A and B are shown apart, each in its own frame.
Chain A
Amino acid sequence: MAAEFLEEVSRRSGQRFEGCYHCLSCGGGCPVVEAMDYNPNQIIRMVQRGMREEVLGSKAIWVCVGCFSCLSQCPNRVHIPAMMDTLREMALEAGVRVAEPEILAFHRAFLGEVRRWGRVYELGLVLKYKLSTGKFFEDFSVGFKMMAKGRLQLLPSRIKGEEQIKRIMNGTRRLR
């Protein structure tokens, strides 16, 4: 069982994780580690041990922003950001309870804009994110200032290849 989970994560990410000797260099440089429930190297250890549910249900996999700090400091070039990408995808496929629903709501709102227009219409993105999380009044004044300064495009524009975009994004699976 343990080997199976590790094998799947390795295959799907195209990376190997046996090389990690838990020196902790990765977590030291991670800018967002304080918002994680497990350090990046703990996630590796949990993957090695086959702790599928704990890993896929963790906050850490969603909080990671893919900044590559860990990878550039790792003596073994263990590709943590690629692992995190794979783990999020697996978490969505498995339908587990996502530990950071707001981050997922943001990704969903963003991809919804892409599916609809082909590009991201930032104002629509922010409104959709706010509606789905109920945080409507947070940042109200910043948003207003951005609009007043003409920094948010007021109307979306649609690209010509919208059918192609829909084909790409409807394909096999929608984001749950």
Chain B
Amino acid sequence: MKVGYYPGCSLHSSAQEMGESFWDLMRPLGVEAIELEDWNCCGSSPAHSTHHGWALNLAMRNLLLAEEQSLKELLVMCPSCFVRLREAARQVQSDPEKGEQVSKALGRPYGGSVRLKFFLEMLRDVGTEQMRSLLKKPLKGIKGALYYGCLLSRPEWITGFDVGPYESFLENLFRTLGGEVAHWGYGRQCCGAHLGITKPGLVSSLVDRIREHARRAGANCIVVFCPLCQVNLEMRGRKEPALPVLYITELLGLAAELPRTTRWLGRHLVDPRPVLREARLL
């Protein structure tokens, strides 16, 4: 299986540990991935918040590149990038005027041959059995509050994810890894997104509430699926004591004993190693 890989900006910088851990997982899972050559930023919130044309064309340039590079599938790591790319492709395919706009800006039309795939969807396709075969060190002693954030828990007709809400799949996956799922009602709360920079006080109160509920549910870490959630949950919050915030891919890497694991774990603002040591995973 050969697929294109769209990391998105944060995986090259603040969320390196998410990118590296996923990249290292792909080989044992039998996925051959090639990074989309010369990819650009999808435009994210700032583009769709202020300029519809930029949002459309920035996203579509990546799909055109994938088409040029004969990639049939493009694996997208960040939920927000995924929704931006999927939304642009949907607009182009349903509205000829938008298609025209893209051809004009980018010099050729989009043929529509690239299938966008969110990374969790790939994990789902791989299947529980194969996941289990990678398991060397079950995550016993880890009680995770799964934090889906705003996008993964919204209905599929809004976001365009192919698997409806992801919650039950992710709970199963986490249990397969040997972890315990904490029951809480805060997994769908929004983390405040880019207001983490512009309105730190507001986002700190959101994060405090999330932490408080995770802790009350007995969790010793929060498990995330999005680079922006990760940064806000580690960086913000004032009153509540911090909880480690780990990417699902890091936990997968830990359970599979991938060699670079310790390097990712050292990069966190809230050090997860004491919790992991206590669970005898390090």
Q: What is A's interface to B at a CB cutoff of 8 Å?
A: 12, 31-32, 34-35, 63, 65-69, 71-72, 85-86, 88-89, 92, 100, 102-108, 110-111, 113-114, 118-123, 126, 129, 138-139, 142, 145-146, 149-153, 159-161, 164-165, 167-169, 171-173, 175
Q: Which residues of A contact B206 (CB under 8 A)?
A: 31
Cα distance, A35 to B40, chains bound together (Å): 32
Q: When the two chains form their complex, are residues A153 and B49 in contact, meaning their CB atoms are under 8 A apart?
A: no
Q: Which residues of B contact A65 (CB under 8 A)?
A: 45, 150, 190, 192-195
Q: When the two chains form their complex, are residues A149 and B48 in contact, meaning their CB atoms are under 8 A apart?
A: no
Using known A-B contacts A69-B150, A159-B38, A167-B105, determine if residue A92 contacts B50 with beta carbons closer than 8 Å. Answer: yes
B176 at interface, CB cutoff 8 A: no
Interface of A: prevailing SS: helix
Partner pick for B58 among A68, A114, A123, CB 8 A cutoff:
A114
Q: What is B's interface to A at a CB cutoff of 8 Å?
A: 9-10, 12-14, 16, 38-41, 43-54, 57-58, 61, 65, 105-107, 150-151, 154-155, 158-159, 188-190, 192-195, 197-200, 202, 206, 235, 266-269
Q: When the two chains form their complex, are residues A161 and B40 in contact, meaning their CB atoms are under 8 A apart?
A: yes
Q: Which residues of B contact A100 (CB under 8 A)?
A: 198
Cα distance, A106 to B10, chains bound together (Å): 16
Residue of B nearest to A143 (CB): B235
Cα distance, A165 to B65, chains bound together (Å): 13
Q: When the two chains form their complex, are residues A153 and B54 in contact, meaning their CB atoms are under 8 A apart?
A: no
Partner pick for A159 among B14, B40, B194, CB 8 A cutoff:
B40
Partner pick for A118 among B41, B50, B189, B199, CB 8 A cutoff:
B41
Residue of B nearest to A165 (CB): B40
Q: When the two chains form their complex, are residues A119 and B12 in contact, meaning their CB atoms are under 8 A apart?
A: yes
Cα distance, A66 to B199, chains bound together (Å): 16
Q: Which residues of A contact B52 (CB under 8 A)?
A: 12, 85-86, 89
Q: When the two chains form their complex, are residues B50 and A111 in contact, meaning their CB atoms are under 8 A apart?
A: yes
Partner pick for A122 among B9, B198, B202, CB 8 A cutoff:
B9
Q: When the two chains form their complex, are residues B158 and A72 in contact, meaning their CB atoms are under 8 A apart?
A: yes
Q: How far is the CB of B108 from chain A (nearest CB, A)?
A: 11
